[in-house]
Amino acid sequence: MSIAADAHELARAGPMSVAPGYAAAESPGMDPAEVWRIIKQRKGLVILSFVLLYLLVGATTFVVYKWFPAYPAEALLELAPPRIEVLDVENPLVDPDMMELQLETEAAKLKQLSLLQDVLKLPEIKNTAFVQWYGGDLQECLFDLQDMISSSPVKDTHLISVRFSCEKPEEAKLIVDKIVSRYWERYVRSQTDQLAARLEDLKSSQSAMRGELDAKRTDIRTFRENKDVPALRSDRTILEENIAFLTQSISELKVQAALYQTQLDMVQGMSPGDLPLTPEMQIIIEADPLLRFYRNQVETLDIEIQAARKSVMGDEHRQMKVLRDRRAGYAAKENSKREELMDLLRRRQVETYIENLQRTRSMQARLQEELELAAGEQRDLSRNIQQFTELISDEGRLTEQLLQIELAVGQAKHAVLGSSRGRLQVVQLPVKAVEPSRPNLPLFLGGGFVLALLGSVGLAFLREFTDKAIRTPIDVTRYGRVSVLGSIPLLDDEEADVDEIEMATRVAPQSLVAEAFRQVRANLFFSGPVESQRSLLVTSPGPGDGKTAVAINLAVTIAQGNQRVLLVDCNFRRPGIRGAFRGTRPEGLSNVLIGQAKLQDVITKTELDNLDVVTSGPTPPTPAELLGSNYMRDVIKEATEKYDRVIFDAPPVLLISDTLILATQVDGVILVARAVSNTKGALKRAREQFDRVNARVVGAVLNGAQARAGGYFKQQYAAFYDYTADETVPAELPGVATERPADSQGTADRDERDDQD
């Protein structure tokens, strides 16, 4: 298997850098792979808890079988449906739903306290071990017996099952036998009493029904003597026709009255001179004799005037004036007479409207009175007819009810003579059991196996969900919402001679820890383009998570990959870079930020090609303000222009605000989480801090991953060192110098040229 195989499997799909606005699901759904991982990881707990639980099941089964067995006894009773014999033919009368209800009722009666109390009073029952176990407390024994007795209908049959179990089979048989026999005696006795009482009730109801029917028939006879029933229906038909005619006439008169009222309202609001004249009125006016005389005189004088005008007389002649005066007089009389006649006719028109309206309303009132009288007569006739109809209906209903009661009386007499309403008989007596019903070995052992398995798996999941520590890359992905670039194994499990994790890639480059850092480097390179990873910030949620060790080893592995790397210590409060490299300058980043030096003045070249470091320098009074200044941006810009990668070692994000300030200025953040030490909540809060400032988290590194069952590096150490053993590694090729390679010399030349620049 390959180095750090578990981490490699997680990263094979290609880790994705998480954008600032990325919102992954906080708790992804539990898929089969995740379930299997939990079971595999905690298989020891699952196996141990399963064995213990199943041993408990086996012990419980043995104890029950040895000291608390239960032997069953069962009896069957049949409740036949009620029947009636008519002409020697049996016809079932009860519907299936009703029969099922009767079966459930009788089954419930078999557990009634009064019946069980009578059974417990029997001497043979008192001497049983079941009763004596209660030490004379019959009340408690009674209620326990009621709970232990099983009485229920057998599905799709007319049978009732009575079942009881106890430690001694002969006592179970005896108790069931006594309960069934006592109940059968009660049932037969109660059936006889019920049938006799029902027969008496039916006879009483029959007598009362006959009396009521006779009284109803007497009422019908009396009604027919006092009323002519056929004439009532004929009179009602005539009245209905008359009412319809009156109703129609009243409606027509209402319309006519409304028309007259409209005409009257129209003329009453006008002066007499404004009333229009109808052609009939014009004819009447022109036919008046006096008016015609005046008009004839005017016409005659018009002729005389025309004749005189043709003679020698002029208009100013005395006789012409006389003729014109006479004509004007007759014309005035004609107009006056016409106005008089017109006024008279208009007044008569208004009076006619009033008379017509009054006459119409009077006729309407008279017809309304006739309609009310006819309606009253119709109601009386309808009431009498309805009364007669009800009498006839009541007679038919009572006759039918009487026939039914007489039929029920006959059935009751047959039942009293020998046929019962619901025959109950015992079809199976209880027998002494040979095998106990408790414990049920398939149920106890099979069900116990399933329950033990579920309990052990549930315990593993409970342990998983209550574990607050970060242990696996999956925990990092789930709670940090970030891709895992790799997992660094715990140094205590490493077989190579590595005292400090910071020196792993330098003193033991062939160790599993060094290979894990190279795995992180490979995943980092493939997580995005180079332009988006020129400046990287390495931090962690809290102190002691190994962020400095990750930053140092990541810088070393990148430098070993022939890229120029600058490692910058930004942790002013607890710097760690200077102690990991010999010969570093005391001046550092703080001197550059306060303007005392330039970046190239504080860079220290390490013994490794392509790797330079900048220490933190003296501790400034206000680190956060310096890291957020334009000087820091200039430092990042200058460093990224000169180096392929710039890695900043920052303080813990949950403790110091310096990290958040730097996170907004670099290309990406690498979050280091330490297994077991970091909690899921701390990792979640760290990620939320970066989301608030829109910082880009490239990925995460799980540091200190432990070798655990179902986890990471469990069997990788032996496999790795077997794979890289001396006998499996080919000898160095001849002619290859062991000193610094030529490309390293070229790199050094480039460094000199850059320094001169």
Structural domains in the chain?
5-24+481-730 (3.40.50.300), 37-68+438-466 (no CATH), 230-417 (no CATH)
What is residue 234's predicted lDDT score, i.e. its pLDDT? 81
Q: How far apart are the first and last CA of the chain?
A: 48
What is residue 496's predicted lDDT score, i.e. its pLDDT? 59
Q: Given a cut of 70, is residue 385 above it in pLDDT? A: yes
pLDDT > 70: percent of the chain: 83
Residue 622 CB neighbour total at 10 angstroms: 10
Which token pair is 116? 């069980």
Least confident among 494-508, 529-543, 571-585? 494-508
- Distance separating alpha carbons of residues 294 and 297, to the nearest angstrom: 5
- Distance separating alpha carbons of residues 79 and 57, to the nearest angstrom: 42
pTM of the model: 0.50
What is residue 270's predicted lDDT score, i.e. its pLDDT? 63
Q: Given a cut of 70, is residue 284 above it in pLDDT? A: yes
Listed residue (443, 399, 432) closest to 60, CA to CA = 443
Is the model more confident about 623 or about 90? 623
Give residue-wise pLDDT tens across range 607-630.
999 999 999 999 888 888 999 999
Average pLDDT for 448-458? 91
What is residue 583's predicted lDDT score, i.e. its pLDDT? 85
Provide the CA 426 distance to its chain's centre, in angstroms. 53
Strand partners, 428: 76
DSSP letters along 386-448, please? HHHHHHHHHHHHHHHHHHHHHHHHHHHHHHHHT--SS-EEEEE-----SS-SBS-HIIIIIHH
Highest mean pLDDT among 65-69, 202-206, 479-483, 534-538: 534-538
Residue 407, phi-psi category: left (phi > 0), alpha (psi -120 to 50), beta (remainder): alpha
What is residue 639's predicted lDDT score, i.e. its pLDDT? 95
- Distance separating alpha carbons of residues 58 and 448, to the nearest angstrom: 8
- Distance separating alpha carbons of residues 90 and 85, to the nearest angstrom: 5
Q: Given a cut of 60, is residue 486 above it in pLDDT? A: yes
Could you tell me the pLDDT band of residue 25, with boundaries at 50, 70 and 90?
Answer: very low
Instruction: Answer yes or no: are the C-beta atoms of 402 and 213 closer than 8 Å.
Output: yes
Could you tell me the pLDDT band of residue 679, with boundaries at 50, 70 and 90?
Answer: confident
164: part of which helix (H) or strand (E)? strand 159-166
Average pLDDT for 578-592? 90
Could you tell me the pLDDT band of residue 540, with boundaries at 50, 70 and 90?
Answer: very high
- Helices (H) and strands (E) counted in the chain, each on its own, are 28, 14
What is residue 19's predicted lDDT score, i.e. its pLDDT? 33
Residue whose entry in the numeric block shows the structure tokens 């020697």: 88
Q: Which residue type does 741 have? A: P
Provide the CA 13 distance to its chain's centre, in angstroms. 37
Could you tell me the pLDDT band of residue 271, with boundaries at 50, 70 and 90?
Answer: low
What is residue 504's predicted lDDT score, i.e. its pLDDT? 82
564: part of which helix (H) or strand (E)? none
Give residue-wise pLDDT tens across range 197-235.
888 888 888 888 888 888 888 888 888 878 777 777 787
Is the model more confident about 340 or about 488? 488
Instruction: Answer yes or no: are the C-beta atoms of 573 and 586 closer than 8 Å.
Output: no
Is the model more confident about 682 or about 408? 682
pLDDT > 90: percent of the chain: 31
Q: Given a cut of 50, is residue 7 above it in pLDDT? A: no
What is residue 725's predicted lDDT score, i.e. its pLDDT? 56
Which token pair is 556? 């070393």
Q: Given a cut of 90, is residue 552 above it in pLDDT? A: yes
Is the model more confident about 663 or about 25? 663
Highest mean pLDDT among 435-449, 488-502, 684-698: 684-698
- Distance separating alpha carbons of residues 214 and 394, to the nearest angstrom: 11
What is residue 303's predicted lDDT score, i.e. its pLDDT? 85
**What's the length of the chain?**
757
Q: Which distant-in-sequence residues (6+ apart) come within 8 Å of 122 by Cβ?
A: 178
Round the CA-based radius of gyration of the chain to a whole number and report it: 60
What is residue 6's predicted lDDT score, i.e. its pLDDT? 40
Average pLDDT for 149-165? 92
Strand partners, 649: 538, 569
What is residue 202's predicted lDDT score, i.e. its pLDDT? 86
Q: Which residue type does 232 have? A: L
Q: Given a cut of 90, is residue 290 above it in pLDDT? A: no
Residue whose entry in the numeric block shows the structure tokens 């708790």: 27
Residue 364 CB neighbour total at 10 angstroms: 18
> Do β-strands 668-674 and 697-705 pair in parallel, antiparallel, or remain unpaired?
parallel
- Distance separating alpha carbons of residues 168 and 682, to the nearest angstrom: 64
Instruction: Answer yes or no: are the C-beta atoms of 42 and 408 closer than 8 Å.
Output: no
Q: Given a cut of 60, is residue 600 above it in pLDDT? A: yes
Instruction: Answer yes or no: are the C-beta atoms of 285 and 345 closer than 8 Å.
Output: yes
What is residue 92's predicted lDDT score, i.e. its pLDDT? 46
Q: Dihedrals φ, ψ of 331, to 5°?
A: -65, -40
Least confident among 26-30, 572-576, 667-671, 683-687? 26-30
- Distance separating alpha carbons of residues 543 and 528, to the nearest angstrom: 28
Average pLDDT for 444-455? 90
Average pLDDT, the chain: 81
Instruction: Answer yes or no: are the C-beta atoms of 524 and 647 closer than 8 Å.
Output: no
